[in-house]
Structure 1
Amino acid sequence: MNALPPLPEVPVGTVLELPKGDWRYGGHHLRLRVEQVRHDLSHYYDNQWIWLVGERLAADGTPMGPMGALVRVSVLR
């Protein structure tokens, strides 16, 4: 069995600015304040993608509701 690459730390409260190509299933730019990191799901994606749960933010920082996002790990390093 091959070892998976390590996952980066994403502290709770981090605000990520993600272009549409760096997260799956949205098709648009995403601003996300991280509330939870689901490391347990990342092994299904060979640790190339990481599941984050957080608060979607408008451009001015206004909260827009909770959401989950599958984020490309390479943009977090």
Structure 2
Amino acid sequence: MTLYGRMPEIPTPRPGTRLEIAAGDWQFGRGQDPGQPFTLVVSETRTALAQHYGNEWVWITGHAEDCADDHRPCREALVRTAKLRQTQEAVSAAH
């Protein structure tokens, strides 16, 4: 939350977006080693609980980079929204 009580906007990467997530940019995950960087191909950005984290963290589900997309998402992590903003800005700059 900011000084004036306004929650930051939550970036929502599109399904299929490839995220390179550093060890310090995520916590509480499924499918990856704790405290290690990993790659996540986004299936869904779940914003419903973000307000409980001051909109600074958001749950993202997806797949490993080499994973077939023929099953339910096998990875999940609570990711810093600042990381998503960086990714969103890089994608926008490339287009």
TM-score interval (norm. to shorter): 0.7 to 0.9
**2:21 partner amino acid:** L
SS at match of 2:50: helix
Which structure shows the higher strand fraction? 1
Q: CA deviation at 1:56?
A: 2.0
> Matches of 2:27 and 2:46 in 1, distance apart?
15
Does residue 10 in structure 1 map to residue 13 in structure 2?
Answer: yes
> Matches of 1:30 and 1:36 in 2, distance apart?
17
- Number of the residue aligned with 2:23: 20
> Matches of 1:56 and 1:69 in 2, distance apart?
12
Identity %: 35
**2:61 partner amino acid:** V
Q: Deviations 1:26-77 (Å, cap 9, x if unpaired)?
A: 21111000001101011110000011000023xxxx1186111100111111
- Number of the residue aligned with 2:53: 45
**2:8 partner amino acid:** P
- Number of the residue aligned with 2:67: 63
Q: CA deviation at 1:13?
A: 0.6
Where do 5+ consecutive residues of structure 1 fail to align? none
Tell me how many residue pairs correspond in the alignment: 73
Over the residues paired in the alignment, what is the CA RMSD in angstroms? Answer: 1.9
Where do 5+ consecutive residues of structure 2 fail to align? 29-33, 86-95
TM-score normalised to structure 1 length: 0.83
